[in-house]
Amino acid sequence: MKYIIFDAGPLISFAMNGLLDILEKLKKEFPGEFIITPEVKKEVIDRPLQNKKYELEGIKISDLLSRSILKLSSEFIKNPALEKETSRILNIANSSFKADKNISLIQRGEASCLAFSNLCGCENLIAIDERTTRMLVEDPDGLKKIMEMKLHLKITIDKQNIKKLNDFRFIRSSELLYIAYKKNLFNLKKDNILLDALLYAVKYTGTAISQKEIEELKKLA
């Protein structure tokens, strides 16, 4: 079994750009399950359903869940076990960067995706659009540099602690759309203009991707 574990960002980005049907088509191409944790469900379904501005998007994502395009993590890992692992990861992540005190960097939603990844015991990727969680794992020194530049403070990293977080693998909305584009899942003329439009659409709804990366993706296609 393979899993793609979704943080809130990619689902928000797909919903805001009217691309949830593409997520459904991607699921048909995927030999595994698309997972959301209860914390992520709160952000992408429960809260939008209470907010008229995003109610329609909440209904659409809820529909994906009811049709098993997305599956709740509790079908595979019991909630108490996930919560316990989420707390453990939060504790590591939020005690690894220090100014004169620990800087709390991530929140339960993001940590719950990492927790499921740790517990599922299967090949998995985490789909996450925001920058901090990804950098915390892939490039903690880069994150430290950004924080020092912005905060004008000396930051220290607990290297031993942060090493406990180095087994995660991440993709973003942009990579998912690239796969969808390569697999001809759009009923639109397939050319670089379409790919460019897709990648900028998700960039403008929160995917942390640089213009340079977008240009490279277009060359790869």
Partner 1 sequence: MQEVDNIIRILRETRKALDKDNSYKIKLLSDQTIHTAAVYQDNDNVIVAVLVYAIGKIIERENYRELPGWREFYSSLIKNLELAISSLEQANLERFRDSEKNIRLAINRIDSKLKDYIEDIFKKARINKASKIYEHGLSLEKTAELLGSDLWDLSTYIGQSSYTGEVSESLDIKRRIKLAEGMFEK
Nearer to partner 1, 52 or 78 (CB): 52
| Shortest distance (Å) from residue 125 CB to partner 1 | 5
Please name the residues in contact with 9: beta carbons below 8 A apart, sequence gap of 6 or more. Answer: 128, 129, 130, 173, 206, 207
Nearer to partner 1, 78 or 145 (CB): 145
- Give the torsion sign (CA, 29, 4, 166, 211): positive
Nearer to partner 1, 27 or 85 (CB): 27
| Residue list 43-102, contact with partner 1 (CB under 8 A) | 43, 47-48, 51, 53-54, 57, 97, 99, 101
- 33 touching partner 1, by CB under 8 A: no
Nearer to partner 1, 116 or 206 (CB): 206
Residue span binding partner 1 (CB under 8 A) among the ranges 61-69, 77-85, 145-153, 186-194: 145-153
| Residue list 158-177, contact with partner 1 (CB under 8 A) | 169-172, 175-176
How do 32-36 and 70-72 pair as beta strands? parallel
| Shortest distance (Å) from residue 146 CB to partner 1 | 5
Q: Are 77 and 33 in contact (CB under 8 A)?
A: no
N residues, the chain: 221
CA dist., res. 146 & res. 152, Å (int): 10
Please name the residues in contact with 2: beta carbons below 8 A apart, sequence gap of 6 or more. Answer: 30, 31, 32, 33, 122, 123, 124
- 117 touching partner 1, by CB under 8 A: no
